[in-house]
Amino acid sequence: MRFATIDKVATSLCPVCLRPVEARIFQDGNIVRIAKNCPDHGNFEDICWSDADLYEKFYRYWNEGKELEKTSSIGDNCPFDCGICNHHKTGTILANIDLTKRCNLSCPVCFANAEASTKVYEPTLVQIREMMTRLREVRPVPCPAIQFSGGEPTMREDLPGIVAMAKDMGFNQIQIATNGLKLAKSFDLCQALERSGLNTVYLQFDGFTPEVNIALRGGDVLPLKLKAIENFRRSGLNSVVLVPTLVKGVNDGEVGEIIKFAVENLDVVKGINFQPISFSGRVDQAERLSKRITIPDIFRLVEEQTGGEITRDDFYPVSFVAPISRLIHAETGISRPVFSVHPHCGAATYVFHNKGRLIPISRFVDLDGLFELLNNEVEHFDGTSVSRLKMRSRIVSELPRLIDESGAPEDLNIVRMLLKVLKNGTRDSLREIHKRALFLGTMHFQDLYNADLERLQRCGIHYATPDGRIIPFCTYNMIYRKEVEERFSVPVS
């Protein structure tokens, strides 16, 4: 457990010249702010976290993680030595490969900012295979999960073949990040992707009104999103995560409706991943502060718009689940990626639907007690079979004490379910939970205004690039994307 000092000196970047600059992270009322100065470009200030109490609470779930092996560069000049360099603290939990820069939308809030050009970034199949080979070589844990993104990955005719290639290469979680337009228009494509081994569709989904969709996507795309979900259902692609990009004053009133919609479609929609907007290019302070949403704002919106059925106390940082990976390793001998990402990067909870109400898992499982138990057990495990048996029996006997069955949804044998997950940690054991529960998550991608190297160095979501580098996600979008795309673009013809 680690306690936060909110007032601290951090390293950030100048949003104009990108040079590393000293930043101060400090408490102002109950808000945590970041302020920095570049000798050439002046002062910049932004909000990092809109709830200082929660900022401190989340810090307690810090997880140190493990040293990486077989890194590709020496990281003496972070963040310009990616990577992955010898100083990076978290292995690749999820890798992104951009399959193309082409897109059939031109969204004002796009990371990739796919503008018209005479050249296009679109790696060849040979390059894609090389990138995936590199990811599978990562040690101590080969990258288990891959997301194909873009641009719009469905613009490539060979997408099903690429998914099948990933499956053959041993990725056990394969997903695409898509706007869904082509999938709405082609049931055959949905079916081909399902047959190729696609596990999850990350579907951009910002809300229900034409105004919201026009503001964020340039058109009223909702009917196509609904049609795409229908096609997923029919084709057996039944693991969809809705991904709303949240902008204050644009779609922050849609949170409750999106949750309601997800619950009504729980047979296909397994989760929602809210992404607060991050800014690219030069954005003045007034505009940033008027649109900026941070993770605690999302908790507040969820709480307000679900009538208090889900509250901020039901969310835990991503790093909270790190002891589970350690336990599974102790149980099975198989290494799992350790979620040692920074506690201020993302948060999540599981919510069960029961008799018209939503019940977060934290209402009937003492999660803090559970993770203390796991941490203790894993710490005392000495690698022998006797020790493993003792650890297992203590967990089995202690677990019921941490669960209030009377508060749990009906017909949910939560003790059995949790034991299965803790023992195997496989997709199959999680599947039972996903049948009944909705995953609610959020990740606040960084931009040049709120960048904090402490967060960048612990990133577990990485990009693979055609030159063999593995680059942390936020670093890639802030610093490397342009250079990589220019270097590897080919003429459109």
Note every long-range contact of 206-214, with CB atoms under 8 Å and residues 24 or more positions apart, other chains counting. Answer: 206/244, 206/245, 206/251, 206/254, 207/244, 207/251, 207/254, 207/257, 207/258, 208/254, 208/257, 208/258, 208/261, 209/254, 212/250, 212/251, 212/254
Taking CB under 6 A as the criterion, the residue among 443, 448, 479, 484 binding ligand SF4 is 443
By CB under 6 A, which span of 73-81, 123-131, 354-362, 485-493 interacts with ligand SF4? Answer: 73-81
Taking CB under 6 A as the criterion, the residue among 212, 255, 341, 399 binding ligand SF4 is 341
Does 459 contact ligand SF4 by CB under 6 A? Answer: yes
Q: How far is the CB of 78 from ligand SF4 (least distance, A)?
A: 3
Give yes or no for a contact between 152 and 178, defined as CB atoms under 8 angstroms apart. yes
Note every long-range contact of 303-311, with CB atoms under 8 Å and residues 24 or more positions apart, other chains counting. Answer: 304/256, 305/253, 305/255, 305/256, 305/257, 305/259, 306/256, 306/259, 306/358, 309/357, 309/358, 309/359, 309/360, 310/259, 310/349, 310/351, 310/358, 310/360, 310/440, 311/360
By CB under 6 A, which span of 147-155, 188-196, 260-268, 341-349 interacts with ligand SF4? Answer: 341-349
Question: Helix, strand or coil for residue 464?
Answer: strand
Q: Which is nearer to ligand SF4, 408 or 459 (CB)?
A: 459
Q: How far is the CB of 40 from ligand SF4 (least distance, A)?
A: 23
By CB under 6 A, which span of 120-128, 323-331, 379-387, 439-447 interacts with ligand SF4? Answer: 439-447
Does 472 contact ligand SF4 by CB under 6 A? Answer: yes
Does 20 contact ligand SF4 by CB under 6 A? Answer: no
78-97 binders of ligand SF4 (CB under 6 A): 78-79, 81-85, 87-88
**73 bridge partner residues:** 85
Q: How far is the CB of 294 from ligand SF4 (least distance, A)?
A: 12
Q: Which is nearer to ligand SF4, 275 or 362 (CB)?
A: 275
22-61 binders of ligand SF4 (CB under 6 A): none
Q: Which is nearer to ligand SF4, 169 or 321 (CB)?
A: 321
Q: Which is nearer to ligand SF4, 399 or 479 (CB)?
A: 479
Q: Which helix (H) or strand (E) segment is 94 a member of?
A: strand 94-98
Q: Among the residues of 116-248, which ranges form H helices?
A: 125-136, 159-168, 181-185, 187-196, 210-217, 222-235
Q: Which is nearer to ligand SF4, 141 or 164 (CB)?
A: 141
- In which residue are the tokens 């749990």 written? 408
Residues in the chain: 493
Angle, alpha carbons 46-317-89 (nearest 5°): 85
By CB under 6 A, which span of 59-67, 135-143, 280-288, 452-460 interacts with ligand SF4? Answer: 452-460
Taking CB under 6 A as the criterion, the residue among 473, 479, 481, 485 binding ligand SF4 is 473
Residues that bind ligand SF4 in the complex, under the rule CB under 6 A = 75, 78-79, 81-85, 87-88, 341-342, 345-346, 443-446, 455-457, 459-461, 472-475
